Structures are given as C-alpha cells and as structure tokens.
C-alpha cells in the first residue's frame, strides 16, 4: 500500500468492497463520505490547537495593557526596562534613569515585572 500520508484517514474508513458488498455506485462514492467526516474533524483539531490558544493570549495581553498603573516596573518589546510615571489613553511615560523619561505606546509593553503594591509589601518568611 504505497499511498501518500494525507490519504491515510480516508484509507481507514470502510469501503463497499471491504464490507463484502458489491460496488453499485461509482468507485469514489465512499471516499466522498470520508471527506465529509474527516474535514470537520480537521477543522475541530485546528480550532483547539491554534485558534483557541491564540484568542486566550490576545485576551491576556489586552488585560495586561488595561491594568497598567503608575509605579509598575515593565519591559517593552524592545527590551527597555523602566518604571511607569504616568498612564495615558494609548501611551505610558517611563522613567528609565534619574532624569530620563520616555513616552511609549501601550502596545509596546511586553511584560510587567513588579506591581507597585507587590513592591511595598514586606517579605514573608
């Protein structure tokens, strides 16, 4: 059986010849039903392996950007580390040095290192 790998699911489905019946229809009759069965399964697997995790990542990123506050230590997508001095509608102002403040788009924020409230809590032992 030298069939390509992508035909493997169709080859596993029973055909009229393997069931012992006669082939009263065209020779490709059962493979059409196989395609109708296999294609929704492929779409379902694609949804759970690709689309669903991507949507979850987008929701998490949106939530991260909505929760930015003054005093948060962040890293931008360019690798710049700084502390948020102020938050605007679509931008944040970062303090990167004593006298250096830079304004970045909120979409440039990659991660939040420390929240302001986490930094002020005493360490528990």
**Nearest by Cα to 84 from 71, 75, 97, 96:** 71
Supply the pLDDT for residue 91: 94
Supply the pLDDT for residue 125: 44
Question: What average pLDDT does this structure show over 6-22?
Answer: 55
Hey, how many other C-beta atoms are within 10 angstroms of the C-beta on 66? 8
Domain 69-120 grouped into CATH 2.30.30? yes
Supply the pLDDT for residue 82: 95
pTM above 0.75, yes or no: no
Range among 1-10, 25-34, 116-125 rated most confident: 25-34
Question: What average pLDDT does this structure show over 57-61?
Answer: 94
């Amino acid at each position: 059986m030298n069939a390509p790998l992508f035909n493997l699911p169709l080859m596993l489905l029973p055909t009229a010849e393997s069931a012992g019946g006669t082939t009263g229809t065209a020779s490709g009759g059962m493979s059409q039903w196989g395609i109708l069965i296999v294609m929704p399964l492929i779409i379902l697997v694609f949804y759970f392996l690709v689309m669903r995790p991507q949507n979850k990542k987008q929701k998490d990123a949106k939530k991260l950007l909505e929760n930015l506050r003054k005093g948060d230590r962040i890293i931008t997508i360019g690798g710049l580390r700084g502390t948020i001095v102020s938050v605007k509608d679509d931008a944040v102002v970062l303090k990167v040095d004593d006298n250096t403040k830079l304004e970045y788009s909120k979409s440039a924020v990659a991660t939040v290192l420390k929240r302001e409230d986490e930094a002020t809590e005493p360490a528990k032992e």
